[in-house]
Chains A and B, each alone.
Chain A
């Protein structure tokens, strides 16, 4: 068991290098590859350091190939780090100690652990036996989770017959069946419709509150991050770009507001550019980014210069802020 003051996760200069075979296409490439194999070193994670305290929920963001999943796999004990140190709940993950494995889970939105041809209940039976959950508790937990996820009706159906949303909920149920203290969630809402996304988010939030669980979450849906995470880590090309609160991130990387306009007549983008950065100008609608210090002047100017029917000022979407950080590669 982890000591009271020990962090749930502590990574120091964590790195992972993959050796990937380099092969050119065609017969010549195949023969050259056979005679003399060439390998390329891919630095997937490059000296990442962070701590996650018990009970924290952290969003882990980055573009595809940034190193998020590799980091999660090292934390879950699937991969051996190439460099650095990592302790999770006081254990070295790669050793796969039973005490460690009983306290963690890794949910991968694009993969499944459920047995494809059998009902969900059979996979749950295996998990109950493997995690040594007594039958009465397993039955009670099955009822409780199925009710929360609203999947009571599908537990006796073969997994292959379920919709993506139902399957993901069943995956979550199987992954959390042993009540882990630490959840690594890799795109848990991938491909789900809005209703299913909301249900999964609500379930995860409820689980965290009830169990005081620690969560490290990757997602391309910023709604997941905004709904669940108070802290975010941004990773790009294997390096950690930012580690801090969401409001601070917005303040630091989005020192502007979004101004949305509905006009009585069409306006050209060139004219609007005098008031801010034009993100979109289509017909009678426009969207501008305006620096926070210049907002009063810009709004007053727009109202004076254009026949404005509606004007709203909001924070820019998180997706845009994050995208901007990655595009500019800035810190």
Chain B
């Protein structure tokens, strides 16, 4: 157990140091994730005209939560893997008695350690622009939201990793992940709170992972009603499915690895 802890601690510390070298890029990357605030301006206008069931403050609270959830769930393991397969850098990972997935996971968690404090200035600007919009959701919803975001991150990571493994057949799988991202964009609650979607579509989506990736934590943090038990279970089930798919692809794909470039 001590050895596992030492591995985890070392990987996290070193990848955090690595990501600190890229703090400038991470800051600008975070700024490029302010899309929810554009939708916020559209929806607050609609709310001001009395066209929606939510008021302006509720929209502000919701879209800030969307921004925060999205920032905490960003993944790029598909890019890492495609790059490592194409250049042959994966060889060095394969030579070590540690599954390469741990390196990629530590890379993400290290980055999160750098990104998290950078969200503070954005929050301050938001508070200045929308005074009184940010409210403490309560310890329970906050903790459940964190749990949902953690599961959503793991699911995104599992999907990204599984897609990245396709590079063992295709050399480059980065664009395939965009299909997943497109579905997130439309069905996760990034464009609008899902309670504004048609009932039939909502019923269908509730069994897919998408609404639970963003809408679930955002609703918990912004005080909207949500069936969190169902959401967490669906997230867990899809995470396990994509984790198993990743293991299956890894076992088969490694036979195709040509170790070119290294």
Binding site for B on A (CB under 8 A): 18, 73, 76-80, 96, 98, 101-102, 104-106, 108, 110-111, 113, 115, 117-118, 122-123, 125-132
Q: Which residue from chain B places its CB closest to the CB of A111 in the assembled complex?
A: B262
Chain B 23-46 near chain A by CB (<8 Å), digits 1 or 0:
000000000000000000000000
Residue with the greatest number of chain A CB neighbours at <10 A, chosen from B9, B91, B255: B91
A8 to chain B, nearest CB (A): 17
Residues of A within 8 A of B96 (CB): 101, 127, 130-131
**A108 to B9 Cα, complex, angstroms:** 28
Question: Which single member of B13, B89, B97, B254 contacts A130 (CB below 8 Å)?
Answer: B97
A-B contact pairs, 9 of them (CB 8 A): A78-B257, A96-B97, A101-B95, A102-B97, A111-B88, A129-B10, A129-B11, A131-B96, A132-B6
Residues of B within 8 A of A123 (CB): 14
Question: Which single member of A73, A125, A129 contacts B91 (CB below 8 Å)?
Answer: A73
A16 to chain B, nearest CB (A): 10
Q: How many residues of B are counted as interface, with CB atoms below 8 angstroms from the partner's CB atoms?
A: 28
Residue with the greatest number of chain A CB neighbours at <10 A, chosen from B9, B21, B89: B21
8 Å CB interface, B233-262 against A = 254-255, 257-259, 261-262
Binding site for A on B (CB under 8 A): 3, 6-7, 9-11, 13-14, 17-18, 21-22, 88-89, 91-92, 94-98, 254-255, 257-259, 261-262
A56 to chain B, nearest CB (A): 21
Residues of B within 8 A of A106 (CB): 91, 95
Question: Which single member of B17, B89, B97, B259 contacts A131 (CB below 8 Å)?
Answer: B97
Q: Which residue from chain B places its CB closest to the CB of A174 in the assembled complex?
A: B92
A113 pairs with B92, CB closer than 8 A? yes
Residues of B within 8 A of A117 (CB): 18, 21-22
A118 pairs with B17, CB closer than 8 A? yes
A122 pairs with B94, CB closer than 8 A? no
B13 to chain A, nearest CB (A): 8
**A96 to B17 Cα, complex, angstroms:** 29
B259 to chain A, nearest CB (A): 5
- Indicate whether A122 sits within 8 Å of B17 (C-beta atoms), given known contacts A78-B259, A79-B257, A106-B95: yes
Residues of A within 8 A of B13 (CB): 125
A115 pairs with B14, CB closer than 8 A? yes
Residues of A within 8 A of B10 (CB): 125-126, 128-129
Q: Which residue from chain A places its CB closest to the CB of B262 in the assembled complex?
A: A111
- Indicate whether A130 sits within 8 Å of B95 (C-beta atoms), given known contacts A73-B259, A79-B257: no
**A98 to B7 Cα, complex, angstroms:** 15
Question: Which single member of B14, B88, B97, B257 contacts A118 (CB below 8 Å)?
Answer: B14
A108 pairs with B262, CB closer than 8 A? yes
Residues of A within 8 A of B21 (CB): 117-118
**A118 to B7 Cα, complex, angstroms:** 18
B89 pairs with A111, CB closer than 8 A? yes
Q: Which residue from chain A places its CB closest to the CB of B95 in the assembled complex?
A: A106
B59 to chain A, nearest CB (A): 41
**A32 to B191 Cα, complex, angstroms:** 42
- Indicate whether A96 sits within 8 Å of B94 (C-beta atoms), given known contacts A117-B18, A126-B14: yes
A129-B10, A130-B7 given; 20 more Cβ-contact pairs under 8 Å: A77-B95, A78-B95, A78-B259, A79-B257, A80-B255, A98-B97, A101-B95, A101-B96, A104-B95, A105-B95, A106-B95, A113-B92, A117-B21, A118-B21, A126-B10, A127-B96, A129-B11, A130-B97, A131-B96, A132-B7
**A8 to B257 Cα, complex, angstroms:** 25
**A261 to B148 Cα, complex, angstroms:** 83
Q: Which residue from chain B places its CB closest to the CB of A186 in the assembled complex?
A: B262
**A106 to B18 Cα, complex, angstroms:** 24
A126 pairs with B11, CB closer than 8 A? yes
**A118 to B10 Cα, complex, angstroms:** 14
Question: Which single member of B9, B18, B92, B258 contacts A18 (CB below 8 Å)?
Answer: B258
A78 pairs with B97, CB closer than 8 A? no
Residues of A within 8 A of B94 (CB): 77-78, 96
Residues of A within 8 A of B261 (CB): 111
- Indicate whether A129 sits within 8 Å of B97 (C-beta atoms), given known contacts A18-B258, A115-B18: no
**A110 to B89 Cα, complex, angstroms:** 11
B260 to chain A, nearest CB (A): 9
Residues of B within 8 A of A98 (CB): 97
Residues of B within 8 A of A125 (CB): 10, 13-14
A78 pairs with B14, CB closer than 8 A? no
**A249 to B92 Cα, complex, angstroms:** 34
